[in-house]
Structure 1
């Protein structure tokens, strides 16, 4: 993944100041601003889209060189853009779980019982995040990885292994920004925001893996390809959604309509792959977690998406 440009735009450097960043992106009418952006981003006008993307570039290191399309009918189309064929490589090592998305790795490691960290010194209980005490016990003393998607990144997410989706729980909530400035200041932020808890089962070992896409300020909507409709503020469908959808490793599962976070949970018996630590950039398809005893760290065969 490309590093951040050495010389950022002046507007972007303003947002690097944490206190000001937090004020500008959180101490605002979040729900109202999110509804407005949801409407505005879908305006299909090439002039509006081009101007919006130009302004967006002032605040973010937006790189569209790997996008399938280079012109967009709306800002929303740019947010949810597809990749060129072969733009990502999937690690196909048996027992390795690949990253479901492009991201910056956040807090990660072994759960302390059923507690994870959203930032240093800021724990949260899985019971609050997942909303299901029985499911939480599956991950006691297991592993977790927080994957933060910046607003400029590729927003689609993919299956980290051959798996079956068994259940989705939709939890409505707030739309706090999920950047580091907010994670340091808002207690149990992930447990307060809108999110989907996606329980899956790995086809090779039968182990349970849960993905938790957490929405954030601005569009705050999640598309899951096996469900009808969009999970978004104002959703009136069932909270618990039994599912039966099979995905091959690397296959697209859905997308965010703006930058946000995916948290990955696995039970004991897994380990972080080398180089996975807080602050590390990662691309969809790169090695993220491995099942202990199934891999030996050898160079993996690879396949293009």
Structure 2
């Protein structure tokens, strides 16, 4: 199948209806029998799950599983930003005059990513991470900092795939897809956690109840099937850990870098 034809089929299947149908099946008792096959197909570390495999009643329950206590450690230095997810880094770098450069060959503006929020100005020359979660990964999203939730926004949109094909062959999917944006104020500034929906993702959900103040590493939200988190730090506040680059794998709680006072 040619790339142009596959792109057309992807455009046609990017409606929320497709994801709702997929999500409805994943939440039905009929999906339970697919859990062992799902684990085998993606090499999932089922032994890390909070419950035994047979205790999950649906595929969605397994996919949004919590982990056993102690499966992830959180870097606790007070000036540290940690990874909110288990993921592959598919984009990383300084934001240049409001633009995230060369994310799989495409540029994105902070303005479009944050849906033209007045807070865009805070990130004009900040730092960004694009963190891709594959079906193999643990899909709960945690707070990268200790701080207060200042604002939340739900941005309706498409549900294009955010895998290699989607990011390279589709037009700026990270800013066209449905997004859930959370702004968290910490002692040395603010971060934006942009949760991006994807093909066959029926929803992005906040944990309930969602606290006003979050500890570093505390649960914030979760994906129902794989997707991407874009993490933004404000201008002049963040220095990335050496050695992190596109292609690096990170786990929830691992240090991504350190904050400094705003310049």
TM-score by length of 1: 0.78
In structure 1, C-alpha distance between the alignment counterparts of 2:101 and 2:40, rounded to whole Å: 31
Maintained 8 Å contact 2:198/2:226: yes
Structure 1 residues 98 and 124: alpha-carbon distance in aligned structure 2, compared to 1, 3 A threshold:
same
**1:250-276 superposed Cα distances (whole Å, 9 cap, x missing partner):** 111111111101111011221111222
- Summarize the alignment of residues 1-305 of structure 1 with structure 2, pairs less than 5 Å apart: 26=10, 29-31=13-15, 32-45=17-30, 48-50=31-33, 52-57=34-39, 59-71=41-53, 72-117=56-101, 119-202=103-186, 204-205=187-188, 207-225=189-207, 245-267=212-234, 268-292=236-260
Maintained 8 Å contact 1:118/1:183: no
How far 1:289 moved relative to its partner?
A: 2.4
In structure 1, C-alpha distance between the alignment counterparts of 2:249 and 2:196, rounded to whole Å: 19
Aligned length: 257
Q: Which runs of 4+ in 1 moved over 6 A?
A: none
How far 1:176 moved relative to its partner?
A: 0.4
How far 1:59 moved relative to its partner?
A: 4.5
**1:12-55 superposed Cα distances (whole Å, 9 cap, x missing partner):** xxxxx9959x669836623333111110001125xx413x1244
Q: Which runs of 5+ in 2 are unaligned?
A: none
Structure 1 residues 18 and 135: alpha-carbon distance in aligned structure 2, compared to 1, 3 A threshold:
farther
Q: Which residue of 2 aligns with 1:236?
A: none
Q: Which runs of 5+ in 1 are unaligned?
A: 1-16, 229-243, 295-305
How far 1:79 moved relative to its partner?
A: 0.8
**1:168-208 superposed Cα distances (whole Å, 9 cap, x missing partner):** 11110000010011101112111110001111100x32x01
- Bigger drift between 25-34 and 139-148 goes to 25-34
Secondary structure of the 1:91 match is coil
Secondary structure of the 1:89 match is coil
In structure 1, C-alpha distance between the alignment counterparts of 2:215 and 2:230, rounded to whole Å: 20
**1:64-110 superposed Cα distances (whole Å, 9 cap, x missing partner):** 12111122110001110010110000001221111111100111110
